Amino acid sequence: MIDVYTANTPNGVKVPIALEELGVPYRVIRLNLGAQEQKHPDFLRINPNGRIPAIVDPAGPGGTPLSVFESGAILWYLAGKFGGLMPTDPVERVRALEYTCFQIGGIGPMFGQAGWFTRSAPEPVGFAIERYRKESNRLTAVLEARLQQVPWLAGSEFSVADIMNFGWLDAPDYAGVNLADYPAVSGWRDRMHLRQGVQRGLSALR
């Protein structure tokens, strides 16, 4: 049974969805981010970066417990261990890695900053809001171009890349992104919601 330290956030939904899609049993340990539980010394031993999600696999390599942090690393670890969510075609595997890294380095930080400057900054900083919203929209347009060509981000197969990008694209308002402007992304989000693994993963955090 994999222990999943998480919360109901765009990054937090990724691991329950991946485990549901893989059919792997897991236990959710919900952290209260408002109460700063992610900075508690016990949790910092699991994730020194003090953020969710993180996992502990009691049966890691060599049969010893293994903790993993960073959602991309977690999903790649789970996909490798349980054999799924990774395209069989070698080119699509590279695309899955590309769009996973694209989320980690682009969508995640830009959507996060756009939302923070819009809703949480102690004083309004117009140019920061504009910069991060513009960049969030530019990145969404990159996904739009990809998804006009193929049904899933890796190509023909559903993969870790779709799960990685879904969390933020399922909360686009936070970053000032209107999915009505991105019909292919909107259709992909609808297809994601039709998957039972996605539905069960989201329900596990409600």
Ligand X SMILES: N[C@@H](CCC(=O)N[C@@H](CS)C(=O)NCC(=O)O)C(=O)O
Binding stretches for ligand X (CB under 6 A): 9-12, 33, 38, 50-53, 70-71, 104, 108
CA atoms of 99 and 67, how far apart (whole Å): 24
Closest CB 91 distance from ligand X, rounded Å: 25
Question: Between residues 167 and 197, which has the closer beta carbon with respect to ligand X?
Answer: 167
Question: Between residues 70 and 170, which has the closer beta carbon with respect to ligand X?
Answer: 70
Residue nearest to ligand X according to CB distances in the complex: 51
Closest CB 147 distance from ligand X, rounded Å: 21
Contacts of 131 (CB under 8 A, 6+ apart): none
C-beta separation of 1 from 27 below 8 A: yes
Find the DSSP H helices in the chain.
14-22, 41-44, 71-82, 90-102, 108-119, 126-149, 160-169, 183-194, 196-203
Tokens at residue 36, please?
């700063």
Question: Between residues 51 and 95, which has the closer beta carbon with respect to ligand X?
Answer: 51
Question: Between residues 10 and 16, which has the closer beta carbon with respect to ligand X?
Answer: 10
Question: Between residues 24 and 33, which has the closer beta carbon with respect to ligand X?
Answer: 33
Closest CB 35 distance from ligand X, rounded Å: 11
C-beta separation of 14 from 53 below 8 A: yes
Closest CB 53 distance from ligand X, rounded Å: 6
Q: Of 11, 38, 36, which is closest to residue 112 (Cα–Cα)?
A: 11
Closest CB 108 distance from ligand X, rounded Å: 6
**Radius of gyration of the chain measured on its C-alpha atoms:** 17
